[in-house]
Chain A
Amino acid sequence: MSQFNPLEAFNLPIVYWQIIWAGIIVAFVTVFALFAVYLERKISAYAQDRMGPMETGGWQGWAQTIADALKLLLKEDIIPELADRRLFKLAPYIVFAGSLGVMAVIPFGVNLIGTDLNIGLYFILALSSTVVIGILMAGWASNNKWALYGAMRSAAQMVSYEIPIGLSLMLPVLLTGSLSMIDITNAQKSGILADGYFWNWYIFRVPPFTLIAFILYFWASLAETNRTPFDIPEAESELVSGYHTEYTGIRFAMFFLAEYANMFIVAAIASVVFLGGPLAPAPWLNWIPGPIWMLLKSLVLVFIQMWLRWTLPRVRVDQLMHICWKIFLPLALVNFIVIATLVVLWQK
């Protein structure tokens, strides 16, 4: 099942397949956002000894986020009088496209991927940087000091944290010798120990360096997605809600969707690069198809993101920069140098 190849199965030209896959991804991200918002509410509720939504839709309030989404779409679309209208309108789409574009190179199965770029990981890092532009645009165009502050913080934070993220993601690339996501996935099938088991995943490959790289990536990705403890761009108590303070209706929904899509994307990248993506943890579990493993691993990471969010307080701006430049960056650099040396010695 994990060898299922949609291109061969339906005999489609690659362009058709890519259009279909794009549709699937947009639908998936929308459904995931609804689900994730519900999950987040429930998790936050139980972390605080509450119950969360319980009424809408009957059992455990499962329809609450659907109702909220419908309400959001019916809301009036307000553009502030002094806003820069063109930028204001454009910004949510740039953020959304930047987030969603990354999904093109994430493999859901060994052959189930939008397009297998040979620079896959580089493409991800490059595309997620465009999100910063969208956020800055939104903050600037809103003509609102909170929005601008939120956008500035967001830009500073995302630009800083891209460095430890990039350095951590370089470890699997060094070990694989390729930037393609499919190559990285396949390289985790076999290693020094028996093939097909979870100990071949990159997180366990060169202990403890790859494990540290995984933790670094995961933490830095929280900053990248503006989540607690690094949610200072949207600090409700200081900035109303940061760069999207002035947005309403469908445009706000776009930001919201992009935010939750981002959560899934960083989790998906972490599971492909460090946790074997669609690979089963043991050969006798191979009958479960790859996409299910992929979703499972990503959802566990999403759960940990939410778990952390309802555990930790928000850090200050200076602490945020301190963590990035004085802790994550040295650790990532040491990691990188050690693994690079090991790879060179290995190949000699």
Chain B
Amino acid sequence: MAEMRTALGMPITHQTKTSKNPIIQWILDVWEGFYTVLVGMGVTWRHFFRKPFTVQYPHEKLNIPKQARQRVHVDIDLCGGCLQCDKICPAGIIKIVTAKPVAGEDLGVRPNGKRRALHIAEFTIDHSKCLYCGLCETVCNDDAIYMIPDFQYTTRSLEQLVVNYSRYSPEERDRVVAAAAAEKAAKQASKPAVPQTKVSDPQPNIPSPSVDSDVFNEKCPGPDGEFK
């Protein structure tokens, strides 16, 4: 470290002189008080000529580390619709609606070579509630959901932060969902006609908890923290 000097270039002495005579002690004290003020002024003077640490933010930006978690983004072409991200998200802000393709319909392959097994009819993320925990990124097998370096995504209203990444318009979503449901219903309807050949595989008719039951809806606070 460079030797510290006062504003007038005098070196800083660290030992305080003392005297038995109170008057001389008083003079020494006054001198030291004055001297240390000059020391302080010297420090301030050097700071006047330092390069500022701050940057003029909208005009210049600091380099943000690559691994910084700034904004969740979905590459919808890669997504297989496995719902892993939806299940892990602690904020519960990912809403995915998938639909099976109807018989004979082929959705082709994804850019990573895997077969596209499902319509991703809707993939909505409410960015206003994201915790930037990065869990969704971690669990995704297809690297379809990840963080992008964009932290300036302020909008005029909260609604604008709810982004749908799916390629399907609401009408298309309703169409594919309805088609899948119709096919499923048709299959179910045709099932009893098929005779049960496997007697060794009895299916006990356990009533599964219905998602629509009033009990479930009233007790569970939703992602908003309110009872729905």
Contacts and interface: CB of A to CB of B under 8 A. Distances in A.
Interface in A295-348: 307-308, 310-312, 327, 331
Contacts of B41: 307-308, 311
Interface string B30-58: 10011001001101110110111110100
Helix, strand, loop or mixed for chain B's interface? Answer: helix
Interface string B5-42: 00000000000000000000000001001100100110
A48 B54 CA distance: 10
Counting from the closest, the 3 A-B pairs by CB-CB distance are A311-B44, A311-B40, A49-B53
A300 B137 CA distance: 60
Nearest to A215: B34
Interface of A: 43, 45-51, 54, 215, 307-308, 310-312, 327, 331
A57 to B, nearest CB: 15
Contacts of B43: 311
Contacts, number: 40
B62 to A, nearest CB: 15
Nearest to A54: B56
A318 to B, nearest CB: 15
Contact of B52 (A46, A311, A312): A46
Contacts of A312: 37, 40
A49 B37 contact: no
Interface of B: 30, 33-34, 37, 40-41, 43-45, 47-48, 50-54, 56
Contacts of A47: 44, 47-48
A310 B53 CA distance: 17
A295 B41 CA distance: 23
A331 B48 CA distance: 33
B134 to A, nearest CB: 33
Contacts of B33: 327
Nearest to B33: A327
Contacts of A311: 37, 40-41, 43-44
Contacts of B44: 47, 307, 310-311
Given A46-B47, A47-B44, A307-B44, 18 more contacts: A45-B52, A47-B47, A47-B48, A48-B47, A49-B47, A49-B52, A49-B53, A49-B54, A51-B52, A51-B54, A54-B56, A307-B45, A310-B44, A311-B37, A311-B40, A311-B43, A312-B37, A312-B40
A307 B52 CA distance: 17
B52 A50 contact: yes
B47 A51 contact: no
Contacts of B47: 46-49
B37 A46 contact: no
A307 B46 CA distance: 12
